[in-house]
Chains A and B, each alone.
Chain A
Amino acid sequence: MSAARRVTLALAALLGGAALALPKYRLQAAPQLHLTGGNDLWQLDRRVMPCTYCHVRESGGAPWNPFGQAIQATFRREAQAGRAVKFPQALSVLLESNGDADGDGYPDALEVFARTLPGDPASRPERPVADLQAEFGAAGGAAQFAPPAPGGKGAGNK
């Protein structure tokens, strides 16, 4: 028993990764929005979730697109209401609010679900809203983008 455990430990250290400097909010958002499926290297690969999900530029940084600005506004509103929320909560609050940041007729949560960019009006689902809405609802609606449970993966310090 102990031999097996020892080897597992060694593996965890040597074949398991060390945390490296990677864009923090992206690392939180991609799994929360279920965008990582099937890509082993999602943490590194911008195809999974490009910086233009929230930023204007491909390389991130200021300025932000309408969806990024909507996240910022959510933080602001929550703080003004005396609630200290973290990024996953703010994201969830925003998606629950059923807004459409880029004004393309598809609410943000629906675009996340359909894997189009909620901050770019040129990127939007091809299917009719109603169709998509029904499927989205059946799949659990915006609740599926709830923040990870505290103490779960991603909680605490790295």
Chain B
Amino acid sequence: MTNRRDFLKLSALAAAATTGMPGFLARAAAQAGGSRTLVVIQLTGGNDGLNTLVPYSNGAYYAARPTIAIPKKDVLTLTPDLGMHPALRPLMGLWDGGRMAWMENVGYPNPNRSHFASMAIWHTADPSQAQSDGWIGRLAESIGDPFCASNIGAATPQALRASEFSLPSIDTVEQFQLKLPQGLGGAFGDMLDAARSGEAAFLTQATRQMMKNTARVQGGAQRYRAGATYPDGRFAAQLRDTARLIAAGVGQRVLYVSLGGFDTHAGQRADQDELLGTLASGLAAFHADLERQGLAENVVVMGFSEFGRRVAENGSAGTDHGKGSVMFALGSGVRGGVHGSSPDLEDLSDGDIKYRQDFRGVYAEALSGWLGLNAREILNGDFSGPGWLA
């Protein structure tokens, strides 16, 4: 803890010495030391893994879900036993091209069924719930650059909290600039130009630096032309902003996007079908866009949810909070296929599947295999993954 804090302080000082001030993206570009980006997709609310990656040859699945199971005829066949929810059809091209990976049966020891607690565990990568900083926050500290990862959205999730601060959120790229109200440009310049000292001089300098950095982002972003048609909605818009930031070349290593509403206690089919459609159409457009920009080689998408859901449906044609679930990954850096073995639906723990793959092993591969970082240091331990990277 103390070491990380000190390290961070030092790196912040070093950065301030070179740029004059803790500027955001200019430093990120200088520090990143790699052109690869990890895009993390959070499915908030607890996505039902069994209706996402469907065990369509398993009688126990259909027995447990008389009204909400995905009928075999609707499943998008991936293997003799597993297939995708039909709403994920936009991703079939990626699957067929060997650019989509499913990680089966992912969880952690002593599963917690509270949204709040379980999400915190995924964010901090600490099932004991002792850590308060997030794994991406620690990643940023490990790179030594507090601004090498950003959340796309309003509020920064705990995953992006470092021990001393939260990494920034960019609500929209469009908003990430100072647009002076009409007629105030001159006055603003005059105001900044006045002679100052001490903290006032610091703030003047910080303001100039911010304008320079945001202008740089906007300059890159304005050259961006979407290479694909994105669907409507906030999630797709955030993915488009993600592509725009990557295309702008401002050097962020991790970008974080969330899609909420997966807490399907009642009427699951209607809600989850729509959400998975939103997820798939957004990601398909995102990937097509990156291909068109010539950036697809540099980007991997990794998706998770805080938990899956109970194997048996409840009395409201929905499902209640469960334990393990599936993760997914997309991109040309991914080893396509289903990784890990499927859960035994006849050997349950309190109505839930028994996880076999610790999610930290999946994180570890993203960290060391994709980003070239020290996963052990960031995750506080060694975790083996399913080998989902090419």
Interface residues of A (CB under 8 A from B): 2-3, 6-7, 9-10, 13, 18-21, 24-25, 71-73, 75-76, 78-80, 84-87, 89-90, 156-158
Those 5 A-B pairs whose CB atoms lie nearest each other, nearest first: A79-B317, A3-B182, A18-B154, A79-B67, A84-B269
Query: Digit string of B255-267 for contact with A (CB within 8 Å is 1, else 0)?
Result: 0000111010111
The interface residues of chain B lying within 8 Å CB-to-CB of A156 are 232-234, 278
Q: Sort chain B's interface into a size bin.
A: 35 or more
Q: Which of B45, B182, B269, B273 contacts A79 (CB 8 A)?
A: B269
Contacts of A2 in B (CB 8 A): 182
Expressed in whole angstroms, the Cα–Cα distance for A87 and B263 within the complex equals: 12
**Closest beta carbon of chain B to A23's beta carbon, Å:** 10
Interface residue? B175 (CB, 8 A): yes
A3 to chain B, nearest CB (A): 4
Main secondary structure of the interface of B (DSSP, over half): loop
CB of B250 closer than 8 Å to a CB of A:
no
Query: Within the assembled complex, what's the spacing in Å between the Cα atoms of A90 and B271?
Result: 12
**Contact sample, A vs B, 26 pairs, CB 8 Å cutoff:** A3-B183, A6-B181, A13-B154, A21-B116, A24-B45, A25-B266, A72-B314, A72-B315, A73-B315, A75-B266, A75-B267, A75-B315, A76-B315, A76-B317, A78-B267, A78-B317, A79-B68, A79-B269, A80-B67, A84-B267, A87-B267, A156-B232, A156-B233, A157-B259, A158-B234, A158-B260
- B147-174 with Cβ < 8 A to chain A: 153-155, 171-172, 174
CB < 8 Å neighbour of B266 from A19, A87, A157: A87
B261 with A158: CB separation less than 8 A: yes
Q: Is B179 an interface residue (CB 8 A)?
A: yes
Question: Does B72 sit at the interface, judged by CB under 8 A?
Answer: no
Q: Which residues of chain A have C-beta atoms less than 8 A from B278's C-beta?
A: 156-157
Report the Cα distance A87→B155, complex, angstroms. Answer: 27
Q: Which of B116, B269, B315, B316 has the most CB of A within 10 A?
A: B316
Given A6-B181, A156-B278, CB of A75 within 8 Å of CB of B233: no
Q: How far is the CB of B168 from chain A (nearest CB, A)?
A: 14
Contact of B181 among A3, A21, A75 (CB under 8 A): A3
Determine whether B275 belongs to the interface, using a CB cutoff of 8 Å to chain A. Answer: yes
Q: Are B316 and A71 in contact (CB under 8 A)?
A: yes
Contact B263 A86 (CB under 8 A): no
A20–B318 Cα gap in the complex (Å)?
Answer: 23
- B267 is contacted by which of A20, A73, A86 (Cβ under 8 Å)? A86
Does B16 interact with chain A (Cβ within 8 Å)? no
A18 to B258, CA, bound (A): 13
Contacts of A9 in B (CB 8 A): 174-175
CB <8 Å contact, B261 and A71 = no
- Could you say which residues of chain A place their CB within 8 Å of the CB of B181? 3, 6-7
**Does B270 sit at the interface, judged by CB under 8 A?**
yes
Asked if A19 meets B175 with Cβ closer than 8 Å, knowing A2-B182, A156-B233, the reply is no
A-contacting residues, B53-102, CB 8 Å: 66-68
**Across the two chains, which residue of chain A brings its CB closest to B169?**
A18
Name the distance in Å between A155's Cβ and chain B's nearest Cβ. Answer: 9
- How far apart are the CA atoms of A75 and B270 in the complex, in Å? 11
Q: Bound state CA distance, A30 and B154, in angstroms? A: 25
Q: How far is the CA of A52 from the CA of B96 in the complex (A)?
A: 49
A155 to B154, CA, bound (A): 19
Contact indicator B261/A18 (Cβ below 8 Å): no
Who on chain A is nearest to B282 by CB? Answer: A157
The contact of B260 among A6, A19, A71, A85, by CB within 8 Å, is A19
Question: In the complex, what's the smallest C-beta–C-beta distance from A64 to chain B, in angstroms?
Answer: 9
Q: Find chain A residues with CB under 8 A from B115 CB.
A: 21
Please report the C-alpha to C-alpha distance between residue A7 and residue B175 in the assembled complex, in whole angstroms.
Answer: 11
Q: Is the CB of A86 within 8 A of B270?
A: yes
Interchain CA distance A89-B316 in the complex, whole Å: 13
A90 to chain B, nearest CB (A): 6
Complex CA–CA separation, A3 to B179 (angstroms): 9
State in angstroms the CA–CA spacing of A157 and B234 once bound together. 7
A87 CB, min distance to chain B CBs, angstroms? 6
Contact of B318 among A6, A13, A18, A75 (CB under 8 A): A75
Is B235 close to A, CB under 8 A?
yes
Q: Which residues of B contact A87 (CB under 8 A)?
A: 266-267, 271
Q: Given A18-B155, A157-B235, answer yes or no on A13-B175 (Cβ-Cβ < 8 Å).
A: yes
User: Is B260's CB under 8 angstroms from A157's CB?
Assistant: yes
Do residues A71 and B266 form an inter-chain contact, with CB atoms below 8 A?
A: yes
- Identify which of B67, B179, B234, B235 contacts A76 (C-beta below 8 A): B67
Extra contacts, 6 of them, besides A25-B266, A72-B266, A75-B316 (Cβ < 8 A), are: A9-B175, A75-B266, A79-B267, A80-B66, A86-B271, A157-B275
A13 to B170, alpha carbons, bound, how many Å?
11
